Amino acid sequence: MSKLSLAVEVAGLRLRSPLMNAAGVLGMSPPILKRVYDSGAGAVVTKSIGPAPRTGHPNPTLVRVSCGALNAMGLPNPGAEYFADEVKALKEMGVPVVASFFGGSVEEFAEVASTLSEAGADALELNASCPNVQEELGMLASDAGNVEKVTAAVREETRLPLFVKLSPNVTDIKEIAAAAERGGADAITAVNTLKGMAIDIDFRRPILTNITGGLSGPAVKPVALRCVWEVAEAVEVPVIGCGGVTTWEDAVEYLLAGASALEIGTAVMTHGFEVYGQVNEGIRRYLEENGFSGVKEVVGLAHQIGEEQDSKADRYSIRV
Amino acid sequence: MHIKSEKNRTVKLTDIVSECRDISSLLFRDEETRGAKPGQYLMVWLPGVDEVPMSVSAIDMDGLSRITVRGVGEMTLRLNGLSPGDRVGLRGPFGNGYTVQGEKPLFVAGGSGAASLMPLVEEMHRQGTTPIFVLGARSADMLLFVDRLEETLDENLVVSTDDGSRGYSGYASGYAAKLMEEDVFDMVYTCGPELMMAKVYQSAREHGLPIQASLERYVKCAVGLCGNCAIGPYRVCKDGPVFDADMLSEVQSEFGVSQMDASGRVTRVEH
């Protein structure tokens, strides 16, 4: 019997597996992204690329916490023009590339998107949500109007599948997701890191140079899963789940919550590159053992139970 | 998973010892470092200054561990200017460390490279192996751990200085090549300036010798996540810092040639 295929199609992008690396994780250079691909990812996501080179924040840029990590890298990147060659190198290695990008203004977002599209990326992921450059670049993802405007401007510049990556640090992620969809997003990536911090009790100072950082790993999974659930109910376009996926069970939860694909980042710290293969195998076994013939069949399945509960809630709730 | 060792903590320095010109050792008591393997490193933090990777240069000497620092930039000069009782932040030990291997190993250290190799020499010596050790520096007053090595290795220590002020006159890599020509070894360990290590690697390859070289790159996260220290498909912080012959042959186009700066741009390896 041939092995069950894990292939998925997300926003017109055909992937051999629903797994990718999360932006910012291992995305600096082609050979290491190739290793992510060889470990079982369906595509690789680059470091977020901006219009000009940035060294990012000085160290310390990472703090290990009990169920994950806090980071404040500060979007280090070599600049879009320079990185265009790295995208080309990856394509020559036969690796599907999702280019993550950011800008400091609507114009810069559009300009970088255009450069990376021309470089041959297979899809773009608009990083509307890095929590670590707020003072410089503003927290784009907390304003629905801005998200729509930036997405629409990028949409004009590229015909590639366009993912918009949102922040969990907002009051209502549904509203922001809907704005990205109106702006022309082909998929929503939910979510970026959760803003947090750590203090050293002997020095009595924040550890991260940036003071605050983004929390990732198992600690954020319940929050990110809830975000995926809400976004899946708010938009028609596919959702890409991201946040603390470490085991195949986590992955299946995300699929059931409505994610069509998944990004795995911090689990590489605890499980190594092998995590991609392990999660792939676990999803495959789950699908086979439960009589499904593909990933697509389980996407969003948990929402059916949500509907039952909604009708129950309707019956019992006190109407005002 | 050793989460505890990966977490931030601080230690009080019990002593600062001057080793040779520009180089000092910082002594401290830390349970996690006492469990280090030779060749592993710590992330050392001074608030408001920087956090940098530093080889563990003594794992457990009468209960104390050490890092050994050459004062070259703001962070390292500040570290060497600390006093007993001052605190530094630590994470780690991180990285793969050396694998103890070979009955007749050759060690080649240059600059401050002996810092990473010293615990390995002591470990092997305890196990009954006395390696041949080539210790190189620019001049006699910059030979790191020369007394500690002499005590352990006796005449197996060979000193070389670029200016000829002590021992063999010339580069350590040159003397190591000569030794590999004249004698039979079954493992080569090297740590020091990358251009030196690249030459040692070439010699080892010509003689078909296995090698372990400790590499340095711009380390940020130290846990294998950010990719800033990548060389080829490897992360120096996690897959390294010790590279064996197979890994080195895979990264030949970058080893001794190029590295990424903090922004991910490729720059030349200068020394």
Q: What are chain B's domains? A: 3-94 (2.40.30.10), 105-268 (3.40.50.80)
Minimal Cβ distance to B228: which of A28, A63, A69: A28
Please report the sign of the dihedral spanned by the C-alpha atoms of residue B73, residue B77, residue B80, residue B86: negative
| pLDDT tens figures, A227-244 | 999 999 999 999 999 999
pLDDT band at A130; cut points 50, 70, 90: confident
Question: Does the pLDDT at position A319 exceed 50?
Answer: no
Residue among A277, A267, A265 at smallest CA distance from A48: A265
Q: Do B233 and A34 touch (CB under 8 A)?
A: yes
Average of per-residue pLDDT values in chain A:
93
Please report the sign of the dihedral spanned by the C-alpha atoms of residue A21, residue A26, residue A28, residue A32: negative
List of chain B residues whose C-beta atoms are within 8 Å of the C-beta of residue A27? 227
**Residue type at B239?**
D
* In contact, B45 and B102? CB cutoff 8 Å: no
Q: What mean pLDDT comes out for the span A172-179?
A: 97
Q: Do A269 and B50 touch (CB under 8 A)?
A: no
pLDDT band at A2; cut points 50, 70, 90: confident
Q: Which residue has the higher pLDDT, A198 or A130?
A: A198
Q: Which helix (H) or strand (E) holds A257?
A: helix A248-257
**B143 class by beta-carbon count within 10 Å (0-12 exposed, 13-18 middle, 19+ buried):** buried
pLDDT band at B3; cut points 50, 70, 90: confident
| pLDDT confidence of residue A308 | 63
* In contact, B78 and B87? CB cutoff 8 Å: no
List of chain B residues whose C-beta atoms are within 8 Å of the C-beta of residue A59? 43, 45, 50-52, 220
Question: Does the pLDDT at position A1 exceed 60?
Answer: no
List of chain B residues whose C-beta atoms are within 8 Å of the C-beta of residue A203? 10, 47, 87, 89
| pLDDT confidence of residue B45 | 98
pTM, full prediction: 0.95
Q: Residue B16 and residue A83: Cα distance in Å, rounded? A: 44
| pLDDT tens figures, A63-96 | 999 999 999 999 999 999 999 999 999 999 999 9
Characterize the bridge pairing of strands B9-20 and B23-28: antiparallel
Q: Do A200 and B91 touch (CB under 8 A)?
A: no
Minimal Cβ distance to A29: which of B7, B230, B261: B230
Structure letter (DSSP) for residue A207: S
Q: Do B10 and A202 touch (CB under 8 A)?
A: yes
CA distance A198 to chain B (A): 10
Q: Which helix (H) or strand (E) holds A71?
A: strand A68-71
Q: Residue A13 and residue A242: Cα distance in Å, rounded? A: 18
List of chain A residues whose C-beta atoms are within 8 Å of the C-beta of residue B46? none
| pLDDT confidence of residue B267 | 94
| pLDDT confidence of residue B58 | 97
Q: What mean pLDDT comes out for the span B65-77?
A: 97
* In contact, B89 and B45? CB cutoff 8 Å: yes
Q: What mean pLDDT comes out for the span B39-68?
A: 97
Q: Do A25 and B10 touch (CB under 8 A)?
A: no
Residue A68 bridge partners (DSSP): A65
Q: Which helix (H) or strand (E) holds A195?
A: strand A194-197
Minimal Cβ distance to A31: which of B233, B261, B265: B233
Q: What is the 3-state secondary structure (H, E, C) of chain B?
A: CCHHHHCCEEEEEEEEEEEECCEEEEEECCCCHHHCCCCCEEEEEECCCEEEEEEEEEEEECCEEEEEEECCCHHHHHHHCCCCCCEEEEEEEECCCCCCCCCCEEEEEECCCHHHHHHHHHHHHHCCCCCEEEEEECCHHHCCCHHHHHHHHHHHEEEEECCCCCCEECCHHHHHHHHHHHCCCCEEEEECCHHHHHHHHHHHHHCCCCEEEECCCCCCCCCCCCCCCEECCEECCCCCCEEEHHHHHHCCCCCCCEEECCCCCEEECCC
Q: Do B8 and A73 touch (CB under 8 A)?
A: no
Question: Does the pLDDT at position A313 exceed 60?
Answer: no
> For residue B33, what are its two tokens?
């470092």
Residue among B110, B252, B125 at smallest CA distance from B172: B110
Question: Does the pLDDT at position A42 exceed 50?
Answer: yes
Q: How much of chain A, in percent, has pLDDT values that exceed 70?
A: 92
CA distance B256 to chain A (A): 17
> For residue A76, what are its two tokens?
């280090």
| pLDDT confidence of residue A27 | 86
CA distance B271 to chain A (A): 22
| pLDDT tens figures, B9-30 | 999 999 999 999 999 999 999 9
Q: What mean pLDDT comes out for the span B65-71?
A: 97
| pLDDT confidence of residue A320 | 40
Residue among B256, B118, B114 at smallest CA distance from B172: B114
Question: Does the pLDDT at position A318 exceed 50?
Answer: no
| pLDDT confidence of residue A141 | 79
CA distance B209 to chain A (A): 27
Rounded to 5°, the CA angle A307-A312-A316 comes to: 145
**Contact residues of B toward A, CB < 8 A:** 1, 3, 6-8, 10, 43, 45, 47-48, 50-52, 87, 89, 91, 220-228, 230, 232-235, 260-265
Pick from B263, B265, B266 the residue to mutate for testing the A interface (most A CBs within 10 Å). Answer: B263
List of chain B residues whose C-beta atoms are within 8 Å of the C-beta of residue A202? 10, 87
pLDDT band at A138; cut points 50, 70, 90: low
| pLDDT tens figures, B204-245 | 999 999 999 999 999 999 999 999 999 999 999 999 999 999
List of chain A residues whose C-beta atoms are within 8 Å of the C-beta of residue B43? 59-60
Phi and psi (nearest 5°) for B38?
Answer: -55, 135
Provide the residue ranges of all domains of chain A, joining segments of one domain with +.
Answer: 8-316
Minimal Cβ distance to B233: which of A35, A60, A268: A35
Question: Does the pLDDT at position B2 exceed 90?
Answer: no
Q: Does residue A227 carry a catalytic annotation?
A: no
Residue B123, number of CB atoms within 10 A of its CB: 16
Q: Residue B134 and residue B189: Cα distance in Å, rounded? A: 10
Nearest C-alpha in B relative to A34:
B233
Buried b (16+ CB within 10 A) or exposed e, B217-227: bbbbbbbbbbb
Peptide bond into B93 cis (omega under 30): yes
Domain A8-316: give its CATH superfamily: Aldolase class I (3.20.20.70)
**Residue type at A6?**
L
Distance of CA A177 to the CA centre of its chain: 13
Q: Residue A261 and residue B229: Cα distance in Å, rounded? A: 28
Nearest C-alpha in B relative to A82:
B265
Q: How much of chain A, in percent, has pLDDT values that exceed 90?
A: 88
pLDDT band at A172; cut points 50, 70, 90: very high
pLDDT band at A306; cut points 50, 70, 90: low
Q: Do B265 and A78 touch (CB under 8 A)?
A: yes
Pick from A73, A93, A203, A207 the residue to mutate for testing the B interface (most B CBs within 10 Å). Answer: A203
pLDDT band at B246; cut points 50, 70, 90: very high
Residue of A67, A130, A227, A242 marked catalytic: A130
Nearest C-alpha in B relative to A81:
B265
Q: Residue B182 and residue A150: Cα distance in Å, rounded? A: 68
Q: Residue B33 and residue B199: Cα distance in Å, rounded? A: 32
Q: Which residue has the higher pLDDT, A314 or B166?
A: B166
In this complex, how many residue pairs, one in chain A and one in chain B, have their CB atoms less than 8 Å apart? Answer: 119
Question: Going by C-beta distance under 8 Å and a sequence separation of 6 or more, which residues neighbour residue B138?
Answer: B161, B162, B163
Structure letter (DSSP) for residue A49: B
List of chain A residues whose C-beta atoms are within 8 Å of the C-beta of residue B89? 60, 200, 203, 207
Query: What ipTM goes with this model?
Result: 0.94
| pLDDT tens figures, B103-157 | 999 999 999 999 999 999 999 999 999 999 999 999 999 999 999 999 999 999 9
